Structure 1
Amino acid sequence: MMTEAAGVWGASPSARYEALAAPFRPIFARIRDGAVQREIERTLPYEPIRWLKEARFGALRVPAEHGGPGATWQETTALLIELAEADSNLPQALRGHFGFVDNVLYQPDSAWRRAWIQRFLDGATVGNAFTERSEAKAGTFAARVTPNGSGWVLNGEKFYSTGSLLADYLDVVAVRGEDEFVTAIVPADAAGVSQFDDWDGFGQKLTASGTSRFADVHLEPDAVQPADLRFKYQTAYYQLSHLITLTGIGRAAANDVAKLVRERNRTYSHANGRISREDPQVLQVVGQVHSLAYAAVAVALKVADAVQRVYEAAAAGDAEAEARLNIEAEIESSQGQIVIAKLVLEATTILFNALGASSLAQGKALDRYWRNARTVATHNPLIYKERVVGDYAVNRTEPPFLWLPGAA
């Protein structure tokens, strides 16, 4: 899995995984080769997204009976971790896409569902436009959908529109009527849609997570659906997506520190070896970083198991099992966030203990690992996740499945 050390990350998640991954690995390598330059120049990854679209990476989850590879969530997670290892901006930019794919797969058979599956097979991608930082109160949205003849009109403004500048369609959450939450699927080039690359966070700078504005955007009747029809395990999936990104960051950091120590010729007069790769204390740091990243991989794949179980229960039409497994998946994804965030933040901090001052050169951009990890780990605050897990463990209180930040 994109590493010079065979087997260090453990066994593949399935017998067919290597064959499934093989066509994408040359693309991942090309993406990795340009990652530092894109980071330094702040170049959005339009070209890498195009490579992935041409390879139909976004159709991974499309079932075999519809012409896709039908990747399980364990396989999809492992592939997205490899992509995050190449460039952590990309799986986050595709977070809304894979969520929308599963939302489509979750729906009963219809012309709408079949049309979207074909779009995925043709390479179309979907970004999200959920969160607002306007005057919307916590628990609701200011964006609104109103009737217009036989269709609808969308007005509003979103921020953290992850991946939307790179996508063909936008998955927008809004309010219809008094308080009904709906989702609106909007072509990115529709009249009245404006997007801005104004995300100014210090990490994950290239996820295209800026502002999306919608001014009297006309929507066809079937482009608006009640939000309560969406796939029930979406919160567990969206959290798993962040765990994937964090895990890939950890693996990339582990690979980089090993490579830099292997190639390093400078040393210190008081070092424990002639060169760094023979210094037991330096090797200990490399071992720590690798082990932290290894543990993150294991936890992320465990959460993927939970998401796959919910998906299978939903596909089988077992509503009782789906509800029970969705609660479990939400708790597992919360526990995963609590642990993986700490593992990767530690790994991306201590890696510098194995290197000299030259590792601080901006051209190496090693600081991006901590900045990116800190940025992803700040989503969905850890303190609330810890409380949710504790409340479930002690009181069997069901976790919340809808998180809507806003003004108090």
Structure 2
Amino acid sequence: MSQTDAGWGAGPSGRYEDLAGRFRPVFAEIRATAVERDRTHRLPHAEIGWLREANFTTLRLAPEAGGHGASLPELFNLLIELSQADSNVTNALRAHFGFTEDVLCSSSPEWRADWIARIGAGETVGSGVSETGPARVGQFDTVVRRRGAERVVEGKKFYTTGSLFADYIHLSAEDEDGQPVVAAVPTRAPGVAIVDDWDGFGQALTASGTARFEGVVLAPDLIKPDPARFPYAMAFFQLVHLATLAGIGRAAAEDVARLVAERTRVYSHGNAGRTADDPQVQAVVGRVRGNAYAAGAVVLKAADALQRAYAAHEAGAGSPEAGRATVLADVEVNQAVTVVTNLVLEATTGLFDALGASAVKEGLGLDRYWRNARTIASHNPRIYRDRIVGAFAVTGAEPPRQYRVGSA
């Protein structure tokens, strides 16, 4: 069934249904076991493998490079659909798609060509940016040191989302002089240890745990020549979270509608002989679905802003036009954060009002929608997004250019 026929609205392009049709059978397979995996803590190694085999991980590459030439709105709409199947899988691939974007925007032709070839061949990348510990905001304890002619990584990362499933870790670090270093560290290199010790109550299957680096030797070609990230990186990574939330909302809406349609028990003071015919219950289902629809529409609107930022960068990297497009992409995504978050948290709580006590049974897994949404919404606190948007609206202040945590 097309997205339009399902009532979620048309995709972002005329070819979207053909593009999405290639992946929907895989999405369906992933969704079929999502509840069981959540209950048993089975990590989605196989599921991510299926997406890799289907060339989902090469979406943004040109067809001649082994990709699909997907626009950013097409990518984000597909991430919404993947999140309907399992939001853990989307989050596990977030760093990979961000790294791909970084490659496409790189100022180094050699780095760009090398990594387009690697990604086109199916290689994937996980996250190695965030740290816990005493490092100050904007700094890292992870260090890339010189050891004779070699460069060696020492340190520890947390929130290494997706790295346990990937071929490389996208590492942010410093050198001995405190200068930034960005590298792609092979996950199977001697001295690399990745541990699935993320113990959050949601998004439990993303392997967002610890990665340790002990004397890891880096080949020169794995160190990025320019450590700067792509201009619209902050907006991009935040919008992946919002697309994931929108997909959770769609899945919750579809599940509650199906369960209401199947329900045979009624309340003695209900409005119909069947729950499916009760107008109050139907209204609850409608609110959940409306929230999910609105969340998806907001995400795709913001994705248009990212596409404009990408196009402006391609037309003239570093130009005033590219800078302004990046600022506006940040603004649009920031002002979407609280709206989308509230819509999906309300939907994933309210769905239980349409069902009886049996809806909380573990086998249905309906609680995972709220748990996953609440966990994603706790990243990059939304209270700051509101303040940033307000400052832009009142004073014209540009959004900050980095999201970092650390000691004050």
- Common fold by TM > 0.5: yes
Give the drift of 1:371. Answer: 0.6
Distance 1:64 1:324 in 2: 30
Deviation at 1:2, TM superposition (A): 7.5
Q: Name the residue aligned to 1:199.
A: 198
What residue is the counterpart of 2:171 in the other structure?
A: 172
Contact 1:134 1:157 in 2 (8 A): no
Aligned-partner SS, 1:215: strand
CA–CA separation in structure 2 for the residues paired with 1:149 and 1:317: 39
Over residues 104-128 of structure 1, what are the superposed CA-to-partner deviations in whole Å (9 max), with x where a residue is unaligned? Answer: 1112463432221122122111001
Partner Cα separation in structure 2 for residue 374 and residue 109 of structure 1:
39
- Structure 1 residues 172-191: Cα deviation after superposition (integer angstroms, max 9, x where no partner): 10011332122111011001
Give the conservation status (yes or no) of the 8 Å contact 1:56–1:122.
Answer: no
Q: Could you tell me which residue of structure 1 aligns to residue 400 of structure 2?
A: 400
After superposition, give the CA deviation of every residue in 1:9-55 in whole Å (9 maximum; x if it has no partner): 01111111111111111000000001000000011100001101111
Once the two structures are superposed, residues 318-348 of structure 1 have per-residue CA deviations (whole angstroms, 9 ceiling, x without a partner) of 5221100110011111111111000000000
Residue 301 of structure 1, CA deviation? 0.3
- Contact kept in structure 2, 1:2 and 1:82, CA below 8 Å: no
Counterpart secondary structure, 1:272: coil
What is the aligned partner in structure 2 of residue 296 from structure 1?
295
Letter in 1 for 2:207: A
What root-mean-square deviation, in Å, do the aligned CA atoms of Structure 1 and Structure 2 show?
Answer: 1.4
Give the SS at the match of 1:94: helix
The aligned residue for residue 49 of structure 1 is: 48
Q: Contact 2:58/2:66 (CA < 8 Å) preserved in 1?
A: no
| Distance change >3 Å, CA 383–CA 232, structure 1 → 2 | same
Identity %: 52
Corresponding residue of 1:143: 142
Once the two structures are superposed, the pairs formed by residues 330-345 of structure 1 within 5 Å of their partners are 330-345=330-345
Q: Cα distance 1:6–1:337, how it changes in 2: closer, same or farther (>3 A)?
A: same
1:239: which partner in 2?
A: 238
Q: Is the 8 A contact 1:233 1:307 kept in 2?
A: yes
Q: Is 1:374 the counterpart of 2:357 in the alignment?
A: no
User: Displacement of 1:135 after TM fit?
Assistant: 1.9
Instruction: State the Cα deviation string for residues 183-234 of structure 1 (Å, max 9, x = none).
Output: 1110110010001000001000001100000011100113223665321110
Equivalent residue for 1:347?
A: 347
| Aligned partners of 2:12 and 2:73 also within 8 Å | yes
Given that residues 107 and 226 in structure 2 are in contact (C-alpha distance below 8 angstroms), is that contact kept between their aligned partners in structure 1?
no
What is the letter of the counterpart of residue 188 of structure 1?
A: T
Question: Which AA in structure 1 matches 2:351?
Answer: L
Q: Determine the structure 1 residue equivalent to 2:96.
A: 97
User: Matched residue pairs, number?
Assistant: 407
Counterpart CA distance in 1 for 2:338 and 2:227 is: 28
Once residues 65 and 39 of structure 1 are traced to their aligned partners in structure 2, the CA distance between those partners, rounded to angstroms, is 38
Report the secondary structure of 2:291's partner residue: helix
Q: Which amino acid aligns with 2:404?
A: L
Query: SS of the counterpart of 2:306?
Result: helix
Residues 142 and 156, structure 2, Cα contact 8 Å, conserved in 1:
yes
1:250 maps to a residue whose letter is: G
- Whether contact under 8 Å (1:2, 1:25) holds in the other structure is no
**Alignment TM-score, normalising by the size of structure 2:** 0.97
Contact 1:181/1:227, CA 8 A, preserved across alignment: no
Matches of 2:351 and 2:225, distance apart in 1: 47
Structure 1 segments, 4+ long, off by >4 Å, are none
Where does residue 35 of structure 1 map in the other structure? 34
Compute the TM-score of the two structures, normalised by the length of structure 1.
0.97
Equivalent-residue separation in structure 2 for 1:2 and 1:261 (angstroms)? 23
Q: Is the 8 A contact 1:181 1:226 kept in 2?
A: no
Q: How do 1:87-236 residues align onto structure 2 when only pairs under 5 Å count?
A: 87-108=86-107, 110-225=109-224, 228-236=227-235
- What is the deviation of 1:315? 1.3
For 2:355 and 2:384, locate their aligned partners in 1 and report how far apart those are by CA, in whole Å.
36
Q: Is the 8 A contact 2:23 2:54 kept in 1?
A: yes
State the alpha-carbon separation in 2 of the partners of residues 111 and 391 from structure 1. Answer: 40
* Structure 2: distance between partners of 1:323 and 1:110: 21
1:125-180 CA deviation, whole Å, 9 max, x = no partner?
Answer: 10011110122122211101112333311111000001010111100100113321
Q: Aligned equivalents of 1:388 and 1:111: distance in 2? A: 37
Q: 1:129 to 1:109 in 2, by over 3 A?
A: closer
The one-letter code matched in structure 2 to 1:345 is L
Distance 1:255 1:226 in 2: 46
- Measured after TM superposition, the shift of residue 303 of structure 1 is 1.0
Distance in structure 2 (CA, Å) of the matches to 1:342 and 1:188: 37
Tell me, in whole angstroms, the C-alpha distance in 2 between the residues paired with 1:86 and 1:13. Answer: 20
SS of residue in 1 equivalent to 2:224: strand
The question of whether the paired residues in 1 share the 8 Å contact of 2:111 and 2:224 is answered with: no
Q: Which runs of 5+ in 2 are unaligned?
A: none
Letter of the structure 2 residue corresponding to residue 391 of structure 1: A
